[in-house]
Amino acid sequence: MRWLVGWSSTAAGALGGSVAHDGRHDDDAPYGGRVGDDGETLQPVGSQLLWGDPDPLWAVGDWRPDEVRVVKADAQTRVAVLGTCGATDEQLRVGLFAARGGALRHLTAWPGSYTAIVQVGRRITVCGDLAGARPVFHTPWAGGTAYATAALPLADLIEANLDFGHLAALLAAPDVPAALHDSTPYDGVHRIPPGHALILRAGAREIAGYEQVASLAVAAPLADPDSAVGAVRDALIEAVRARLAAPRHVPDIDPGPVPGMGPAERRAARGMPVPGIGADLSGGPASGTLALLAAGLPGMPGTLLGHGTGAGERLLAVTFNDLAVGGREAELERAGSLAANPRLHHVVVAGGEEALPYADLDGPLTDEPGPSLVTAARHRARLAAGSADHFTGYGARQVLDAHPARLADLLMDRKRRHLVRPVAALTKADGSVLVPARVYGAARRLARTSYRAGVEGLAERLLHRSFGSDDPSGAVGASLAALTWGGAGPAARWLTGEALAEVSVRLQGAAHRTGVGPGQRPGDYRARAALARHAMDLRVLEQAAEIRSQRLHAPFLDNQVVRACRALPETLRVQPGARAAILRTVLKGAGVTDLPPGWGAPSQESVTAAARAGLRMAMDPLLTLFEAPLLAEAGLIEARVVRKALRAAAAGEPLPLDGLADLVSLELWLRRLLSRRGTCWTGTPARARAVPAGIAPQRRAVSSGG
């Protein structure tokens, strides 16, 4: 786990910083530090100081040397970029000068995935990304503001307790930004929304958006589909090229031969990835596109010479074959056809019952909870066979596909004829002649419903436990449930009435406090919320399934790729098979035309089958987990209700398995958090850490009349 942390104090020298001989603060002085009760200097454990007082900044964790860059214009002006960034030092300097004048968007326009921090005098600017995969957190502290790219270090710093309202919202309405707002699992630690920057001036904080705001007075120009797809192609190629241009890293030195073990076996026994670059090759369009682009673009070899049997080959392609659950034969066949490319070295990882969801309930503590905690072992088995730099197709569905609520956007733009093909596809999947009328009616209602009315309607449904309209059954049911401003989460049905009432109060307050934003329609709003939710869970997955010395790269979540995908016309997005068609065009523009038959065909059935099989296999440990759950102690669930639901789901009843994954993952995360004994800081009084009192629910808003 890697993160950065710093703070902005109220006054220069307030935290014990050094002062120059002429009375001015010396920005190049080392960190003077805030001294703890035992005379220790307060600083993060295992950190490297990027700049010192009065507003210090640290990088914490196993950062590679090329992932941490600091460029200075003068003693008072500098920029730090952490992560994979394709900008040169001169481009960073130009972006620094632009940010000094207030133009923050320049800091997010380079290819790659990174976090940029700018210091201009006492003004600190920290830019988050558009997707939410690189979030920024902040909290009031010592009369100023502390910030970080992880929430747990800030929670340790202020000894934060759990925010049970946030945990309830994660279960009841995880895809509704109004329910979560800027909260985190830790009370007092806040998150800035995607597409925004945190600006600190001598301890005072401001949150500002850096993206262009749509105009309500002037209609946006019509986007040309060909040029929009071309922009997506260029952005993806630049994102892949930025990773190829980065230095290669050898994870570890092979200690030497072991009798009966080859280099691959020795590396697997140590849990180390293959040196070089690799990619997932699941047979789907997203991973296949990245693998073929990485194999075809000029750059350094994917596998380093002298390391392993595939030395010097272009790219290591990894395919996961689930032996416990079938249904992916067509995808595996397509992956094998793609792997016939001589530039690819294909590795198939076979997973049995030990790789099913819920099979391994042990794991590391992550910064936040997420449903991927129950599948971390499954992903770790695949990633362990991957490379030190590994491409994944995560995020392609969220940035390229059309959220069903975009049908309402088309009606608002008077483009009814473009609804014909998506509605016809739903009718074909369902087989009912009533589907067109139901879908059109739901889209029309959403187009005529204001944001405030939609959020208040969801709050009312949660308060009265009315989940009928939020229960998706099949493609048509899922589409109808998504044609709202916000829906209840799959785990909401198992929450207590008090927890649902708490979330209802949060929604009602948000409906009166904030709006959806100027010029934003329901489809665009729901799509951005779904992307932020997916990016947050990917961040949890990276931490839960982390392989030492390995970096996961998700180019579809890069700022430039997200921007290019958002510029795609809605009339193109909503067409059936649009994602596969767009990626096919991207590959054709890059010179790849030989794709296997059926490439891009959707396949989600095996995911549900694997989840149900994992529930059956892990039924006894799961029932033990919910004998005396911490969620029940916090007042969010009743243990017997969840145990009954687990048995019913394992028996094959049509229950939302995603909701059970949310409950199990949150319970696992709470247990790991409370069993933690360390802290992220040295010099804190009595080794202060987050949640010092354990599960101690505070007075609810519904019980206090708030």
> Got the DSSP string for 456-523?
HHHHHHHHTT--GGG---HHHHHHHHHSSS----TTGGGB-HHHHHHHHHHHHHHHHH--S-TT--HH
Same domain, 510 and 582: no
Same domain, 242 and 383: yes
Is 525 inside any structural domain? no
Same domain, 381 and 509: no
Please name the residues in contact with 659: beta carbons below 8 A apart, sequence gap of 6 or more.
171, 489, 490, 491, 492, 493, 494
Is 53 inside any structural domain? yes
Same domain, 149 and 260: no
Same domain, 549 and 631: no
Is 705 inside any structural domain? no
Per-residue model confidence (pLDDT) at position 308: 47
Residue with tokens 């994602």: 579
* Residue 530 host element (H or E): helix 522-544
CA nearest to 62, candidates 548, 542, 540, 389: 548
Per-residue model confidence (pLDDT) at position 633: 94
Task: Report d(CA 126, CA 139) in Å as an integer.
Answer: 14
Q: Quote the tokens at residue 482.
A: 């998504």
Same domain, 390 and 444: no
Same domain, 381 and 407: no
Per-residue model confidence (pLDDT) at position 433: 84
Q: Is the dihedral of CA 126, 130, 134, 135 positive or negative?
A: positive
Same domain, 410 and 395: no
| Ranges of H-type helices in 271-322 | 285-296
Is 682 inside any structural domain? no
Task: Report d(CA 220, CA 278) in Å as an integer.
Answer: 40
CATH number at residue 84: 3.60.20.10
CA nearest to 391, candidates 328, 314, 312, 327: 314
Is 257 inside any structural domain? yes
Same domain, 257 and 199: no
Is 524 inside any structural domain? no
- Please give the model's pTM, rounded to 2 decimal places: 0.91
Is 520 inside any structural domain? no
Same domain, 337 and 473: no
Mean pLDDT by 10 residues, the chain (706 residues): 91 42 41 54 89 91 94 91 95 93 91 96 94 96 94 94 95 94 95 95 92 60 85 95 86 60 59 85 91 78 48 77 85 88 88 92 94 94 92 95 92 90 88 89 94 93 81 80 93 95 93 68 93 96 92 96 94 92 91 85 77 94 96 95 96 93 97 91 75 70 47
Interhelix angle 605-617/657-674, nearest 10 degrees: 50
Per-residue model confidence (pLDDT) at position 15: 39
Number of domains observed in the structure of the chain: 4
Is 296 inside any structural domain? yes
CB 178 within 8 A of CB 510: yes
Same domain, 410 and 462: yes
Per-residue model confidence (pLDDT) at position 32: 52
Buried b (16+ CB within 10 A) or exposed e, 44-67: beebeebbbbbbbbbbbeeeeeeb
Per-residue model confidence (pLDDT) at position 431: 81
Same domain, 632 and 671: yes
Q: Classify residue 22 by burial, with Cβ atoms within 10 Å: 0-12, 13-18, 19+.
A: exposed
- Which residues form the domain of 552? 225-399+545-600
